[in-house]
Amino acid sequence: MTYIEGFVVPVPEANRVAFREHAEQMAGSTEGFGIARQVEAWASDVPHGNVTDFYRAVGANDDETIVFAWFEYPSKAARDSANEKFRTDPGMAGLPPPPFDGKRMILGGFEAIVEQGAGRGSYVDGFVVPVRQGKREAYRELAESMARVFREKGAVRVVEAFGDDISRGEVTDYYRAVNAEDGEGVVFSFIEWPDKATRDQAWKAIMEDEGHRPQGEMPFDGRRMFWGGFDVIIDTASANARQRTTA
């Protein structure tokens, strides 16, 4: 299955254009690194939670919003090779400083455990979930079942990925973001939709249908899970497809 490098980034609202330009420069500089797809998505419908949320995950200031982003690789080995190129390629040194506080960006490597659909969406629901290592299979089964529901309601792709190489940061990281307890791992997941209207309609139908509500004990602590909706502002897979079409 696909290997995911997942990111959550605090970006000043005023820097949206600068962020997009920086991400496009990054994509151009890393074209030969083996990244199958780069997606950057800007906060659109990201709620504040009672226990934790995307904002607290990165210590966002009042003038900052959230970018939910990921790189896709065919394997962990391909991701490790790319990360070595990030560290050693001289072209990376020529990039301008990022228009955000990199010390508060959180990142990590995640192994896909559920992957349904092959479409590319313009709107994304992103999730970060604490899951006990011993509940991994129970979580995968539940996620697989719910992915089928999302697909029936119009989602074009659903990915659930379990962290296996998560960096511990000096300021924050995925573990602190979900207040992880001993024995817990972190899931980075996303649902891709054709557009926000399809997403909103799907969630309304799911929430109103009691048959879609999971039964029994949940294999994660929902109070410490956080999520939000994001507009895709960069998708290198879609850009490459357009280039091939017009070439």
15 token code pair: 């820097």
Amino acid 94: pLDDT: 82
Predicted structure pTM score: 0.95
State residue 240's pLDDT score.
53
Distance from C-alpha of 204 to C-alpha of 214, rounded to nearest angstrom: 16
Q: Which CATH class is domain 3-246?
A: alpha beta
Residue in this structure with the two tokens 């506080």, named with its chain if needed: 101
The domain ranges of the chain are 3-246
Instruction: Give the pLDDT confidence of 235-247 residue by residue, as tens digits.
Output: 999 755 444 333 3
Residue 206 near residue 153, CB atoms below 8 Å:
yes
Per the structure block, which two tokens stand in for 180? 């992880």
- Give the pLDDT of residue 245: 31
Q: Is 229 helix (H, G, I), strand (E, B) or coil?
A: strand
Q: What is the number of H-type helices and E-type strands within the chain?
A: 7, 8
DSSP characters over the chain: --EEEEEEEEEEGGGHHHHHHHHHHHHHHTTTTT-SEEEEEEEEE-PPPSS--HHHHTT--TTEEEEEEEEEESSHHHHHHHHHHHHH-GGGGGSPPPSS-GGG-EEEEEEEEEEE-----SEEEEEEEEEEGGGHHHHHHHHHHHHHHHHHTT-SEEEEEEEEEEPPPSS--HHHHTTPPTTEEEEEEEEEES-HHHHHHHHHHHHH-GGGS--S--SS-TTS-EEEEEEEEEEHHHHHHHHHHH-
74, two tokens: 């065919």
Which pLDDT value is given to residue 244?
33
Per-residue pLDDT of the chain (247 residues; tens, 9 = 90+): 899 999 999 999 999 999 999 999 999 999 999 999 999 999 999 999 999 999 999 999 999 999 999 999 999 999 999 999 999 999 888 888 999 999 999 999 999 999 999 999 999 999 999 999 999 999 999 999 999 999 999 999 999 999 999 988 999 999 999 999 999 999 999 999 999 999 999 999 999 997 777 667 899 999 999 999 999 999 999 755 444 333 3
